[in-house]
C-alpha cells in the first residue's frame, strides 16, 4: 500500500512522521534529530544547504541563508508583513514578476514556495532513507489562520519538491488528531499552538466514531517565537547602543549572531532563572578595535519584555471560545503545541485562563507531524477509523459596490459547504459585472485577501438594482472554492474554480519542479561520489600506513618493488580521479585499492 508521510512545515523547524501500524512515528534525520531547521542556504560555491548544516553556517553566510520563509509564503509584495520582513531579514527580498516575493541568494532569485520546497524535499529524503522506498504522497500542515493563497503556495511548494500533497491540514487540528487518535474519547478540547512564527487556537470536539470536529479556529500569522526573540534582540541592541553608541542592526552578521543568541537564551530561560549572553567581537568600531557583547538575562526580565505577547495569545483564546459559543469552563482539556509553550510564563497564562493544567501528554514539537501522518493514513487506508471535520478559518465573499465586502460563507463554517446570495447591479444599463472573490473578516473589501475574479457578461440592460444576480459559493472537501454567478432573469451564467494563487504560474511551477529534480539528481550523484571518495580515502590511508612495513619485508625483492610501485600508481590515479570528481573512475580504483590492501595485509601478516 502506498505510504503517506505527514510533514509539519514549520517556521523555524520542520518534522516528518509516518503511521506505522497504529502508531505515528517521527522520523529522525541523518543527524539523528527529530526536527530539522527550516533553513536554506546557498554557499559561495553555489552549493545548496538545508537544515542543520545550513543553520550552522548561517553566521558566516548570513546574506545567503533563508530563515522563516514561511512568514513570506503566499504573501503579496506590497503587504505590510513583507515590508516588515524586508527590514528585519538578513537575506535580500525582491519583488517577483507577479507582485509576489522572491529571495535573492547569490546570483539567483528564488520564489518563496521554491525555498520551502527545498525544506520539503529534505523531509521527503529523510522519510525515503528511513523507509527504503520512494515517497510520493504527503499531508502538509499549515497554520489554521493561513488564507487560501498561503495554502496554495504551500501546496505548490510540495509539488515543486515532487510531492503530491493530498491534503493541507491545520496545525492545531493535526495536533488534536495525534492527541485523540484511537483513544475513543468524548470531550471538548482547546489547542494552543504557539510556534516559531504563528499562533493558532482551535476549539474541537472529539467524539465517538473517531470524529474530530473543529468548532472554531482563530489566530495570528505574525505572532510566534520569533517575536519573543525579537524582543530580546531589541533589548540587547538598545543596551549596546547605550554602552557604545553603535547600532548592531546595521551589521547583518552581528544581527545573525544576536538572533541565534536570543533564541538560545530564550530556550535556556525555560529551564534556568538566568542566563549569560556572550558574543565576543560582535563588531568592529572601525578604529581596528573589536567590541564584545556580554549581558545577563534573567527570567523576570524576559517575562517583562514579552508580557504583551503572552497577553495577546490569551485574548485570541477568548476570541476562539466566543466564536465557538462556549464558556471557558466547557473546555475539558488544553493541548499545548509548539516550542514556545515550554516557556513558563506561557504555561502560567494558559493555566490561568483555562483554569486547568494543560495536558502534557503530547510532544510540542512532534505532535503536528504525527497528526498529519494520521490524517494521511486515514485518507488512503481501507480501514477508515477517523474523520476530520474542519472549518474555514476566514469568511469568503465578494466585493460589492463601494468596495464593501459582502460575506457569503462565514468564518468557522464546516466544510464542505455552499451558500447562495442574490445581488443586484449598481449602475444603469450595466451589462457586465465583475465578481471579485475575497477572503477575510474586514467589512472593507480592500482589507481582505483577493482570491480570484471573473466577469459575468451578457446581462440585460436595466436600471441599477434591477438585474438580479445569484451568486453561489461552494467549498469542497479538498478546500477548493468554486463560485457560480447567474443572471436570474435570462439565465446567463458563469462560474470559476477559484484557484488561490501562490504568486506562481503553472509554467513557473513546472520549471521549478524540473530544477528540483535536477538538484536531486545532482545531489544523488554527489552522494555516490562522496561515498566512493570516502571508501577510497580510507583504503589509501590504510595502504599508506602499510608502505614502510611492506618496504621492510619485500622491498629488497624485485616483485616487491614492482608491487610497491604499482600500489603507488594506483593511489596516485585514485587521487586524480577524486580531484576530477569522476565517480566511476573512483569506484574502479576502489576495487584496485582493496586488492592492493588485501595483498599488503597478507604480506605483513606472513612476514
Partner 1 sequence: MTPLQKRVPRLVDGIDLRALPIGPAEAFVLSRVDGLTTELEIAEAAGLEESAVSSTLTALTRLGAVHFDPPRLGESMRAPRPAPTVSLPLRLGPIIESSGEAEPHHPAAALYELQELDEAVDLSVERKRVILEAFHHLDSLSHYQLLKVDPRADKKAIKNAYYEVVNVFHPDRYFGKNLGSFKPKLERVFARLTEAYDAITRAGPRAEYDAYLASLDKTRELDPSHAAAAVQARVQAIQRQIEDEARAAEQASLAPGPRRNSPAPGSLVPGPISGWEPRVPSLDPEARKRALARKLGGRHVSGAAPARSSIAPTVPPPPISVDARERAGDGLKRRYEQRITRAREQRAERYLLDARVSLSNKDPLSAVNGLRIATSLVPDNAEISARLQEAQTEATVLLADHYLAQAQYEEREGRLADAARSYGRATLGSPHARTFERAAYCTMMAQGDLRIAGDYARKAVALVGQASLSRDPSCDEAQARVTLARIYVAAGMKQSGLAEFERAATLAPKDDTIRDWIRRLKRGEA
Task: Kindly state the number of chain residues that form the binding site for partner 1, as judged by CB under 8 A.
Answer: 31
Backbone angle region of 537, left / alpha / beta, with phi > 0 → left and psi within -120 to 50 → alpha: alpha
166 or 248: CB nearest partner 1: 166
Q: C-beta of 369: minimal distance to partner 1 in Å?
A: 20
Q: Which of 300, 344, 355, 416 binds partner 1 (CB under 8 A)?
A: 416
The three three-digit cell numbers of residue 155, written as one number: 501546496
Residue 388 within binding range of partner 1, rule CB under 8 A? yes
Q: Which of 330, 428, 530, 551 binds partner 1 (CB under 8 A)?
A: 428
Task: Point out the catalytic residue in the list 8, 122, 220, 366.
Answer: 8
Q: C-beta of 12: minimal distance to partner 1 in Å?
A: 31
- CA 167 to chain centroid: 15
Return the percent helix, strand and coil in the chain, to nearest 5: 45, 30, 30
Question: Annotated catalytic, 44?
Answer: no
Question: Annotated catalytic, 581?
Answer: no
169 or 543: CB nearest partner 1: 169
Q: Which of 185, 230, 267, 462 binds partner 1 (CB under 8 A)?
A: 462
186 or 522: CB nearest partner 1: 186
209 or 287: CB nearest partner 1: 209
User: What count of other Cβ atoms lies within 10 Å of the Cβ of residue 311?
Assistant: 11
Q: Which of 389, 531, 599, 604 binds partner 1 (CB under 8 A)?
A: 389
Residue 463 within binding range of partner 1, rule CB under 8 A? yes
Alpha helices in 145-298 (DSSP H): 148-160, 171-180, 225-244, 252-268
For 600, residues 6+ apart whose C-beta sits below 8 A from its C-beta are 543, 546, 549, 550, 567
Pairing of strands 101-105, 92-95: antiparallel
275 or 411: CB nearest partner 1: 411
- Strand, coil or helix: what is 186? coil
Distances (CA, A) of 274 to 70, 263, 310, 323: 31, 14, 20, 39
59 or 185: CB nearest partner 1: 185
DSSP 358: P
For 273, residues 6+ apart whose C-beta sits below 8 A from its C-beta are 298, 299
Q: C-beta of 152: minimal distance to partner 1 in Å?
A: 20
458 or 463: CB nearest partner 1: 463
Residue 189 has φ and ψ, to the nearest 5°, of: -125, 155
Alpha carbon distance 471, 243 (integer Å): 63
Determine contact, residues 106/112, Cβ cutoff 8 Å: no
Please provide the distance, in angstroms rounded to a whole number, between the alpha carbons at the two ends of the chain: 58
Q: C-beta of 448: minimal distance to partner 1 in Å?
A: 24
Determine contact, residues 554/603, Cβ cutoff 8 Å: yes
Contact stretch for partner 1 (CB under 8 A) within 47-55, 464-472, 527-535, 543-551: 464-472
Question: Which helix (H) or strand (E) is 290 found in, with range?
Answer: strand 290-298
102 or 167: CB nearest partner 1: 167
Residue 607 within binding range of partner 1, rule CB under 8 A? no
The three three-digit cell numbers of residue 120, written as one number: 520539503
Q: Which of residues 194-223 bind partner 1 (CB under 8 A)?
A: 205, 207-211, 213
Q: C-beta of 113: minimal distance to partner 1 in Å?
A: 25
Q: C-beta of 209: minimal distance to partner 1 in Å?
A: 5
Residue 136 within binding range of partner 1, rule CB under 8 A? no
Determine contact, residues 508/112, Cβ cutoff 8 Å: no
Q: C-beta of 314: minimal distance to partner 1 in Å?
A: 25
209 or 606: CB nearest partner 1: 209
Question: Annotated catalytic, 428?
Answer: no
Residue 361 within binding range of partner 1, rule CB under 8 A? no
245 or 402: CB nearest partner 1: 402
Alpha carbon distance 356, 335 (integer Å): 11
Pairing of strands 137-142, 164-170: parallel
Residue 2: HSE in the Cβ half-sphere, 13 Å Cα cutoff: 11
> Could you give the dihedral angle defined by the CA atoms of residues 283, 289, 290 and 296, in that order, rounded to the nearest 10 degrees?
-100
Q: 151-170 mask for partner 1 (x: CB under 8 A)?
A: ---------------x----
Residue 461 within binding range of partner 1, rule CB under 8 A? yes
Q: C-beta of 207: minimal distance to partner 1 in Å?
A: 5
Q: 319-348 mask for partner 1 (x: CB under 8 A)?
A: ------x-----------------------
Residue 363 CB burial class (10 angstroms; 0-12, 13-18, ≥19): middle
Alpha carbon distance 362, 2 (integer Å): 27
Question: Annotated catalytic, 533?
Answer: no
Residue 465 within binding range of partner 1, rule CB under 8 A? yes
Alpha carbon distance 145, 76 (integer Å): 16
Q: Considering just the CA atoms, what is the radius of gyration of the chain in Å? A: 29
Q: Which of 57, 270, 417, 511 binds partner 1 (CB under 8 A)?
A: 417
497 or 505: CB nearest partner 1: 497
Determine contact, residues 485/493, Cβ cutoff 8 Å: yes
Alpha carbon distance 370, 99 (integer Å): 35
Task: Point out the catalytic residue in the list 55, 70, 155, 486.
Answer: 70
Residue 458 within binding range of partner 1, rule CB under 8 A? no
Q: C-beta of 478: minimal distance to partner 1 in Å?
A: 9
Task: Point out the catalytic residue in the list 171, 200, 263, 366.
Answer: 171
Q: C-beta of 463: minimal distance to partner 1 in Å?
A: 3
For 168, residues 6+ apart whose C-beta sits below 8 A from its C-beta are 139, 140, 141, 142, 151, 154, 155, 479
Contact stretch for partner 1 (CB under 8 A) within 120-128, 284-292, 472-480, 582-590: 472-480
Q: Which of 304, 384, 427, 524 binds partner 1 (CB under 8 A)?
A: 384
Alpha helices in 161-209 (DSSP H): 171-180
Task: Point out the catalytic residue in the list 148, 193, 229, 323.
Answer: 193
Contact stretch for partner 1 (CB under 8 A) within 373-381, 545-553, 556-564, 589-597: 373-381
Whether the CA torsion 99, 102, 104, 110 is positive or negative: it is negative
Q: Which of 288, 329, 361, 477 binds partner 1 (CB under 8 A)?
A: 477
The three three-digit cell numbers of residue 549, written as one number: 612495513
Contact stretch for partner 1 (CB under 8 A) within 195-203, 285-293, 473-481, 581-589: 473-481
Residues that bind partner 1 (CB under 8 A): 166, 205, 207-211, 213, 325, 378-380, 384, 387-389, 414, 416-418, 420, 428, 461-466, 474, 476-477
Active site residues: 8, 70, 171, 193
Amino acid at each position: 500500500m502506498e505510504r503517506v508521510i505527514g510533514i509539519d512545515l514549520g517556521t523555524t523547524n520542520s518534522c516528518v512522521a509516518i503511521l506505522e501500524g497504529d502508531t505515528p512515528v517521527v522520523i529522525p534525520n541523518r543527524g539523528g534529530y527529530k526536527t530539522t531547521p527550516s533553513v536554506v542556504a546557498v554557499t559561495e560555491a553555489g552549493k545548496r544547504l538545508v537544515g542543520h548544516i545550513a543553520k550552522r553556517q548561517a553566521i558566516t553566510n548570513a546574506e545567503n541563508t533563508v530563515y522563516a520563509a514561511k512568514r513570506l509564503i503566499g504573501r503579496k509584495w506590497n503587504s505590510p508583513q513583507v515590508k516588515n520582513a524586508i527590514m528585519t531579514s538578513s537575506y535580500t527580498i525582491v519583488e517577483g514578476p507577479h507582485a509576489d516575493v522572491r529571495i535573492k541568494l547569490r546570483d539567483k532569485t528564488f520564489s518563496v514556495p521554491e525555498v520551502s520546497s527545498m525544506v520539503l524535499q529534505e523531509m521527503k529524503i529523510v522519510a525515503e532513507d528511513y523507509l527504503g522506498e520512494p515517497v510520493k504522497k504527503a499531508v502538509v500542515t499549515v497554520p489554521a489562520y493561513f488564507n487560501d493563497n498561503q495554502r496554495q503556495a504551500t501546496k505548490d511548494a510540495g509539488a515543486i519538491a515532487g510531492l503530491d500533497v493530498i491534503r493541507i491540514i491545520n496545525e492545531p487540528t493535526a495536533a488534536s488528531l495525534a492527541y485523540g487518535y484511537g483513544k475513543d474519547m468524548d470531550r471538548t478540547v482547546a489547542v494552543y499552538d504557539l510556534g516559531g512564527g504563528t499562533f493558532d487556537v482551535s476549539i474541537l470536539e472529539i467524539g465517538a466514531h473517531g470524529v474530530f470536529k473543529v468548532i472554531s479556529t482563530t489566530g495570528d500569522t505574525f505572532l510566534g517565537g520569533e517575536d519573543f526573540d525579537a524582543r530580546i534582540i531589541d533589548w540587547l541592541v538598545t543596551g549596546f547602543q547605550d554602552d557604545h553608541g553603535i547600532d548592531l542592526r546595521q551589521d547583518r552578521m552581528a544581527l545573525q549572531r544576536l538572533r541565534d543568541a536570543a533564541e538560545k537564551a530564550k530556550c535556556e530561560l525555560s529551564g534556568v532563572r538566568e542566563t549569560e549572553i556572550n558574543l565576543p567581537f560582535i563588531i568592529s568600531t572601525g578604529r581596528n578595535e573589536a567590541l564584545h557583547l556580554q549581558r545577563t538575562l534573567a527570567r523576570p526580565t524576559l517575562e517583562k519584555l514579552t508580557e504583551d505577547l503572552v497577553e495577546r495569545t490569551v485574548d485570541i483564546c477568548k476570541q476562539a471560545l466566543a466564536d465557538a459559543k462556549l464558556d471557558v469552563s466547557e473546555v475539558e482539556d488544553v493541548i499545548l503545541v509548539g516550542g514556545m509553550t515550554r516557556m513558563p510564563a506561557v504555561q502560567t497564562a494558559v493555566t490561568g485562563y483555562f483554569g486547568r493544567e494543560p495536558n502534557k501528554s503530547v510532544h510540542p514539537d512532534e505532535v503536528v507531524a504525527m497528526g498529519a501522518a494520521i490524517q494521511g493514513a486515514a485518507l488512503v487506508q481501507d480501514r477508515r477509523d477517523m474523520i476530520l471535520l474542519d472549518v474555514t478559518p476566514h469568511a469568503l465573499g465578494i466585493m460589492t459596490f463601494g468596495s464593501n465586502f459582502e460575506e457569503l460563507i462565514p468564518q468557522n463554517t464546516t466544510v464542505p459547504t455552499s451558500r447562495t446570495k442574490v445581488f443586484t447591479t449598481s449602475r444603469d444599463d450595466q451589462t457586465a459585472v465583475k465578481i471579485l472573490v475575497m477572503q477575510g473578516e474586514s467589512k472593507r473589501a480592500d482589507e481582505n485577501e483577493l482570491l480570484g475574479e471573473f466577469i459575468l457578461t451578457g446581462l440585460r440592460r436595466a436600471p441599477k438594482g434591477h438585474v438580479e444576480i445569484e451568486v453561489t459559493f461552494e467549498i469542497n472537501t479538498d478546500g477548493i472554492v468554486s463560485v457560480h454567478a447567474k443572471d436570474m432573469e435570462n439565465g446567463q451564467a458563469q462560474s470559476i474554480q477559484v484557484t488561490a494563487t501562490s504568486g506562481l504560474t503553472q509554467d513557473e511551477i513546472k520549471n521549478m519542479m524540473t530544477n528540483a529534480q535536477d538538484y536531486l539528481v545532482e545531489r544523488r550523484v554527489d552522494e555516490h561520489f562522496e561515498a566512493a571518495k570516502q571508501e577510497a580515502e580510507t583504503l589509501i590511508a590504510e595502504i599508506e600506513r602499510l608502505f614502510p612495513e611492506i618496504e621492510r619485508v619485500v622491498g629488497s625483492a624485485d616483485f616487491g618493488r614492482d608491487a610497491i610501485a604499482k600500489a603507488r600508481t594506483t593511489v596516485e590515479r585514485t587521487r586524480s580521479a577524486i580531484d576530477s570528481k569522476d565517480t566511476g573512475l573512483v569506484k574502479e580504483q576502489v576495487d584496485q585499492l582493496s586488492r592492493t590492501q588485501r595483498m599488503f595485509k597478507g604480506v605483513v601478516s606472513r612476514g
